[in-house]
Structure 1
Amino acid sequence: MNTERRAPLDRKRVADTALKLLNEVGLEGLTLRAIAKELDVKAPALYWHFKDKQALLDEMATEMYRRMVAGTPLGSDDGWRERLLKSNRGLRAALLGYRDGARVFSGSRFTGLVHVEEMEDNLRRFTATGFTLAQAVRAITTTYLYTLGFVTEEQGVQPLPDERREGYDIDERARRMADFPLSAAAGAEIFQDYDRHFEEGLALVISGIEARYGIE
């Protein structure tokens, strides 16, 4: 008889298990039944904690955010540009840590107030610099949406770092587009070197914010 006691089943344990399983099966394969099997419980046991899959995705996104904050050191003397750079680099790194990470995060709602402390600090920092509240919200959300969209597309090609989805061979693409030389050559700029592309795009967005609002 096995007398080993298992950890109690709670929301965090389910979310942790789901995030681990996500890298193996992807979002489509992540079912409550599969998670229950991984936890060695019956699927109905999960419904005590999550009414449906979206509720679980919300908790997973919240846990991803907790881990992101823990792994993204923010300085008390950061200017608004530094804060946008650090926050969005940290967000991208966090999302890339999971197969379909951006798709899980996109559209999910945090299950508590875990995000409010950083939000309040950012808004206070931005408005003290000269942004109106509306401008601060627009600057923060625009860079956030840029990062989320970028990683969604990035993971469409590379589900995990160094793993490339079939159909995105640059040389084959160029051969098929031989009659359109600029489009053929653009493939390397679209589907390779995502680190550089992300940084260039983020810099463009931040420069646009500065130009739009005229804030140093």
Structure 2
Amino acid sequence: MSASDRTPPRVPPLSRETVAEAALRLLNETGLDKLTLRAIATELNVKAPALYWHFKNKQELIDEMATEMYRRMTAEAPSGGPGVSEPGWRDRILATNRALRHALLAYRDGARVFSGSRFTGTEHAEQQEAQLAALLAAGFELPQAVRTLVTTFVYTLGFVTEEQGVQPMAGERREGYDMAERSERLAEFPLAASAGTHIFEDYDAHFEEGLHLILDGVGARYGIR
């Protein structure tokens, strides 16, 4: 078969979604700071100016990346079926924030992509509506329900930001976070030295404890069990 007879590989039509998907593929390789429109254009086999038809700047692209991450997170969430009872308000918030942390950790700088981004779709509003309705049914006032959801969201986002500052991806650990070296360096401050293992290790357990602390406080403050 001659070269002229070969069918060129099919390139998906360029859209906001395909650009965001390509950006997410590259994110784990480059990290957010080195993720450029030029690199994304190369990944898509187009010229960089073609991307500006869809995104005016990098922040618009990050907004779309965060939205695509959210879409994937909700698509993976298990759905209830016949005979499955509705979770209580605590279990609902625990499940939502565990899923968020899992989604953020799937990408290098995932928490930074989410932080301060504006969702471009309305999928988040559907889940927010359901969450607020469930909290109101459990006895919350709307302002209390909103503050509860926002506080747990910000906790999860901040927790993963710090977690990824130490462990950018699974199996990686940034230089400077060796606990033995840290303890030796802070030998004059024994409590601070000992605190290291409670800050920079065993993130799963620490995340869970912190989330439960918040929910215990919510229940106590608003008088809702």
Matches within 5 A, 1:14-53: 14-53=19-58
Point out where structure 2 has 5 or more consecutive residues left out of the alignment.
none
SS in 2 for 1:27: coil
Residue aligning to 2:77? 72
How many residue pairs match? The answer is: 216
Distance 2:172 2:126 in 1: 35
Residue aligning to 1:203? 212
Counterpart of 2:22 in structure 1: which amino acid?
T
TM-score by length of 1: 0.97
Distance 1:33 1:166 in 2: 29
4+ aligned runs moved over 4 Å, structure 1: none
Moved more, 65-74 or 193-202: 65-74
Counterpart of 2:208 in structure 1: which amino acid?
E
Point out where structure 1 has 5 or more consecutive residues left out of the alignment.
none
SS in 2 for 1:178: coil
Distance 2:214 2:170 in 1: 24
Matches within 5 A, 1:31-180: 31-73=36-78, 75=80, 77-180=86-189
Asked if the contact 1:74/1:83 (under 8 Å) is kept, the reply is no
Moved more, 1-10 or 156-165: 1-10
Distance 1:100 1:49 in 2: 23
- Which residue, out of 6, 13, 22, partners 1:8? 13
TM-superposition CA deviations, 1:37-61 (whole Å, max 9, x none): 1111100000011111000000000
Distance 1:19 1:7 in 2: 16
How far apart are residue 73 of structure 1 and its match?
2.2
* CA RMSD in angstroms, aligned pairs only: 1.1
Larger radius of gyration between Structure 1 and Structure 2:
2
TM-score by length of 2: 0.93
SS in 1 for 2:123: coil
TM-superposition CA deviations, 1:120-153 (whole Å, max 9, x none): 1111111111100000000011000000000000
How far apart are residue 78 of structure 1 and its match?
1.1
Distance 2:98 2:68 in 1: 18
How far apart are residue 74 of structure 1 and its match?
5.3
